[in-house]
A and B are shown apart, each in its own frame.
Chain A
Amino acid sequence: MAVVTQVVRSEWTKIRSVASTVWTLSLAVVVTVAVGTLLSGLANSQFSKMPARERLSFDPTNISFAGMTLGQLAMIVFGVLVVSNEYSTGMIRVSLAAVPGRATFLFSKIAVAAALVLVVGMVTSFAAFFLGQAMLGSHRAHLGDPGVLRAVVGGGLYMTLIAMFSMGVAAMLRSPMLSLGILMPFFFLVSNILGNVDATKKIGRFLPDQAGSHIMQVVPRVGDDVPYGPWGGLGIMGLWVIAALAGGYVLLKRRDAQ
């Protein structure tokens, strides 16, 4: 246990002593909150012109999280860099020479980074919600409304899970360029396309971000036939995260450290 404390302290030093941490995390906050606020304001002014169908399923909570699609990309970069920096700099050999236990090393590192992301994610989520609602005026939702608190807390959890998934992928791929080259287009484009094209919708909705983002919906879409609830969706995302981390751990244990 003592070793875990040591590794956690060391990882915290590593995370706080590089500029990329501050940059990626503050970008995630700013982008998510700014885009969410902007789109909430836009929705408020356009509400009367919306078709009735859209007005029926208008989800004031979810619209304030509209920046998440972009903001999560910064979280992915953070997650990837935390892990793959070890490989790209060669620090991994120094680190593993100091902590021969692969599990202790990897999971302590991920725990520290995830804890930091959780704090930042929660701050982002609440900030995006309150600012977004302030822009929505009369259409606003309240934190006490049914399902709203769940959605806001879920927003923070979603950001944490997406960063952890990226850490797992980076632990498997090791190279930051390769990891980002796969994760960024996947979450920005591929997943959205798969989730919105009818032919692939049934598969697309089980992808980590599609499933996980359901937690942020309060009002279900009209004609929504998703086979899982908000927590079920987050659970599916959690399974993806576990798979990615397990893959990263198995490869780290098996492979030579380089």
Chain B
Amino acid sequence: MIEAVGLTKRYGDKTAVYDLSFRVRPGAVTGFLGPNGSGKSTTMRMILGLDNPTAGAVTIGGYPYRKLPNAARQVGALLDAKAVHGGRSARNHLLSLAQLSAIPARRVDEVLRVVGLQDVAGKRSKGFSLGMGQRLGIAAALLGDPQVLLFDEPVNGLDPEGILWVRNLMKSLAAEGRTVFVSSHLMSEMALTADHLIVIGRGQLLADMSVTDFISANSADFARVRTPDTEPQLREKLSSALTEAGGHVLPEQDGALRVTGLPLPRISDLAHEADVRLWELSPHQASLEEAYMRMTQGAVDYRSSIDQKAGLQQLLPPGAQPPMPVPGQGQPGWYAPPPPQQGGQPFAGPYGAPGAPVAPPGGFGSPQGPYGAPQAAPNPYAQPAPAPAPGPAQPAPAAAPVPAPADLTKPEDAR
């Protein structure tokens, strides 16, 4: 059992972790999620007594780490796969750690076999790949057969086989009644591995719940409805009809509607009653990744932004429209880069249809932002033929909506 109470860590005037309280229980894999720089590693280091908290405390089995009797036999940790003297062999590295905690030397060969490094045990670790380094780090964590295990980003650099192995290892360790605390920035990985989730952003607790709760709370079903692009008034009409019937309607970035709260047949009936033709009516499920991104989007420290190239670009001639940024680049509320817009294709969405209203720009930046993004699965029906490869004149497929009038691209730039 790991218990943090009001854990706070400041480096100078930067607060890395603020008032974090949580419990990590035995017998389960607890995922520790957060964007880069959100304080995951700092928290892990504080758990291990490596960093001193500015305020608050964290204990393992009731003891602060530095007071824990025989700490190395109770707690195993993988913090940094590269924390190995490159000139030392894997076996000697583990042997020195084993001797530190009075673990018999034969245990070293045992854990080397467990992680599959027995054949390179005598090799200097500087020649190891990142994945081999992770395996060596996991071996070090397993050395003392500890009841509490901490892993900081254990699957980084591992191949699919290794990822699967780590996943099963975590589960089996937890099944033996151990406390397993795994950090990651990949929700998809945690959804498969963890039983419980602790999500932090900017060093603060965002969620502390079981994975099942997280899934049921966050992955709502929705329907995507597309009306003819050529007749925007139909879209408005359907929108109000659906809202009247109790549905929740959100415009999507490409002009489709995202409808929640109404079953698909009902949507179809309502459209029929309103005399609106439909181009698309499809069931969807928001991914966990998306739910996680929505949760942490306000807390992302390092966000990519549009390269302004100030002073590097020639001024555009008057009247020329600036190149449209690739959707999803550096804009809050964009999660998955949408598929390339096939400019000029009649079915490709609003850009191909002059005059079609574009969803209000506020919708993208607002907390509902994510709904604007997920186009991960391009609508197969709306695109009867794959677009021809962009010509050399087109720098990027996503910047392709050349026929779009200038005013349509304005909302993009306005943000």
Taking Cβ atoms with an 8 Å cutoff, the residues of A that contact B are 2, 6-7, 9-11, 13-14, 17-20, 85, 89-91, 93-101, 256-258
Contacts and interface: CB of A to CB of B under 8 A. Distances in A.
Interface residues of B, number: 35
Contact of A93 (B80, B87, B96): B80
A83 to B, nearest CB: 13
Nearest to B88: A17
A97 B99 contact: no
Nearest to A108: B100
A100 B65 contact: yes
A105 B369 CA distance: 52
Given A6-B99, A13-B99, A18-B87, 12 more contacts: A2-B102, A13-B92, A89-B83, A90-B82, A91-B83, A94-B97, A97-B49, A97-B71, A100-B66, A100-B71, A256-B45, A258-B45
Contacts of A91: 83-85
Nearest to B95: A13
A115 to B, nearest CB: 16
Contacts of A13: 92, 95-96, 99
A89 B84 contact: yes
A11 to B, nearest CB: 8
B142 to A, nearest CB: 13
B75 A97 contact: yes
Contact of A20 (B48, B87, B97): B87
Nearest to B92: A17
B72 interface: yes
B140 interface: yes
Interface string B88-112: 1100110111111110000000000
B52 interface: yes
A182 to B, nearest CB: 23
Interface in B44-98: 45, 48-52, 65-68, 71-72, 75, 77, 79-80, 82-89, 92-93, 95-98
Given A90-B80, A100-B68, A256 B52 contact: yes
A90 B96 CA distance: 15
A93 B100 contact: no
Pick from A9, A17, A90 the residue with the most CB of B within 10 Å: A17
B95 A93 contact: no
B87 A19 contact: yes
A22 to B, nearest CB: 11
A89 B72 contact: no
Nearest to A102: B66
Interface of B: 45, 48-52, 65-68, 71-72, 75, 77, 79-80, 82-89, 92-93, 95-102, 140
Nearest to A99: B100
Contacts of B71: 97-98, 100
8 contacts: A17-B89, A17-B92, A17-B93, A18-B85, A90-B84, A93-B50, A96-B50, A97-B77
Contact of A7 (B68, B100, B140): B100
B97 A85 contact: no
A81 B49 CA distance: 25
B49 A100 contact: yes
A94 B79 contact: yes
Contacts of B97: 10, 94-95, 98
A156 B75 CA distance: 42
B88 A93 contact: no
Closest 3 CB pairs of A and B: A90-B83, A17-B92, A10-B99
Contacts of A17: 88-89, 92-93, 95-96
Nearest to A20: B87
Nearest to A7: B100
Nearest to A19: B87
Contacts of B52: 256
A18 B88 contact: yes
Given A13-B95, A95-B100, A99-B72, A256 B83 contact: no
Contact of B79 (A9, A10, A97, A101): A97
A155 B56 CA distance: 51
B51 A257 contact: yes
A85 B49 CA distance: 21
A14 B87 CA distance: 10
A176 B100 CA distance: 24
Contacts of B72: 97-99
B83 to A, nearest CB: 3
Contacts of B96: 10-11, 13-14, 17
A9 B45 CA distance: 25
Nearest to B97: A98
Contacts of B100: 6-7, 10, 95, 98-99
A91 to B, nearest CB: 6
B69 to A, nearest CB: 10
Contacts of A7: 100
A13 B108 CA distance: 13
Contacts of B83: 89-91, 93-94
Contacts of A6: 99-102
B102 A96 contact: no
A97 B50 contact: yes
